[in-house]
Amino acid sequence: MDLVIRNARVIDGTGRPSYRADVAISADRIAGIHRPGEGPRPTARRVLDAQGLALSPGFIDMHAHSDLALLRDPAHTAKAAQGVTLEVIGQDGLSYAPVDDRTLAEVRAQITGWNGDGSDIDFTWRTVGGYLDRLDHGFAGEGIAVNAAYLVPQGSVRMLAVGWEDRPATAAELDRMKRLVAEGLEQGAVGMSSGLTYTPGMYADDAELTELCRVVAAYGGYYCPHHRSYGAGALRAYEEMIELSRAAGCALHLAHAVMNFGENEGRAPELLALLDAALAGGADISLDTYPYTPGSTTLAALLPGWAGEGGPEAVLARLRDDAVAARIRHALEVTGSDGCHGVTVDWESVEISGVAAPSLAPHVGRTIAHTARERGEEPWTTARRLLLEDRLGPTILQHVGHEENVRTIMRHPVHTGGSDGILHGAKPHPRAYGTFPHYLGHYVRELGVLSLEECVAHLTSRPAARLRLPDRGLIREGNRADLVLFDPETIAAGATFEAPRTLPTGIPYVLIAGRFVMEDGRRTDVLAGRAVRRTPVS
């Protein structure tokens, strides 16, 4: 054997009670699991004594925004140090494949706040397959920090086939979108994502989305929508996605399935009752959440959908026009913008977390309302100025969540973990650096919301099952040696809202494909991550 991990408390990902064992690794696979009294212990070229540590499968981040970070930072310590061995990217309907020259420029501008403008990236690809190949080769042909699976982004697909117009697709345009989704799945994507409060994806009606989901279903993938509202009408928005997926015969994974804003305080049980009824009727549904109350997005995302028609440059032109800007303000502050989930915006809850222009850095860490008071102006004036001066670049934290909803939803049997972590910006949400240790330290050890074994199952085997990856997510012979060794007594998120890039504690070892990417609590130079492609339907 190459490695034996001795005396580990094995938490195997099934949710069943942990047990003591030696786990042997050969190359990139788990070669043997030896419990006390089962005969001679396995030997290896290296033996690691794991006394006092728990051994679990690697954590799977079901909702990540590392699409460019994986190609920008070979260490990618934000995720590796958490024990994340696989991320699912291409989220919220917006990413960098498939594209052409026009739409690449547009999507780069639109999600600058998520990933930077990409000026440091050589965009050599245009297809999903080309992007996955680029991940495979990573840095100097060696690979990337952690594994990555990809969702075909429906908004990017609509950019290619329809553009930025708020109208139904023609029959020819729909056919092209279906071909693009099929090509992405054939090239290795695991499903399709949508961002139905983001332009231009939000312009698609249910009939269009259903047709695309039928394509996803034919390839054995799943649909991952950021649905039309997490605020006013949230339950109806969830119901819409369940009905749509049922009509298409497509598996459904609800992205960051939260119940936010004042309208939804204490209403998580209503969401879970809706899910339970659908599951009892045979629906294939899962969901992910992050273990925090604030959300995070771009400031531009709060604008009404009609303001985004035509693309980023058209948005900026509308913001410069006083009359049109007044209509945008009315939608935000009086009627409730669809970009803000049908809820009137509370500028006290909107905190700037990142900007593109260095001159605007003093605004980071302050709410729009706070900055407006300092400047003696209306909050909308501040927000409009930031959007224009930073060319739609600001990212925000939106303090609109409810702790009781967070705890209630994470207990559900179809729940999985997703960071929704935006790594860009001076003061990102701490979920980007802390989601997985925060689950295990705060919600398991400190609060007892979940047992340790059950929480590990939420973070490992359940997402692996959704991704149809039979050799991941469980500690068993023959499975891939993507593993985490952590101390259940000390594991904790170091990241806070004040210091969001602080690394976690209590995770000394992380292995991907049997190789140490974290050793003695430090990032090694190993690049064992690869693109994880869809398992073909048999």
Q: Report helix, strand or coil for 382.
A: helix
The answer to whether the CB of 77 falls within 8 A of the CB of 501 is: no
The answer to whether the CB of 289 falls within 8 A of the CB of 258 is: yes
Q: Would the pTM of this model clear 0.95, i.e. be above it?
A: yes
Cis-peptide into 413, omega within 30 deg: no
Q: Report helix, strand or coil for 369.
A: helix
Q: How far is Cα 217 from Cα 343, in angstroms, rounded to an integer?
A: 33
pLDDT tens sequence across 290-305: 999 999 999 999 999 9
- Which pLDDT belongs to residue 538? 60
Task: Show Cβ contacts of residue 111 under 8 Å, excluding neighbours closer than 6 positions.
Answer: 94, 95, 298
CA 77 to centroid of chain Cα atoms = 16
The answer to whether the CB of 212 falls within 8 A of the CB of 154 is: yes
Could you report the average pLDDT of every consecutive run of 10 residues in the chain (538 residues)? 97 98 98 94 96 98 98 98 98 98 97 95 97 96 97 98 97 98 98 97 98 98 97 96 98 97 96 98 98 96 96 97 98 96 97 95 96 97 97 95 98 98 95 98 98 98 98 98 98 97 98 98 98 83
Say how many Å lie between the first and final Cα of the chain, rounded: 33
CA 119 to centroid of chain Cα atoms = 23
Task: Show Cβ contacts of residue 98 under 8 Å, excluding neighbours closer than 6 positions.
Answer: 126, 127, 128, 152, 156, 157, 160, 180, 183, 184
Containing 274, the helix (H) or strand (E) segment is: helix 268-280
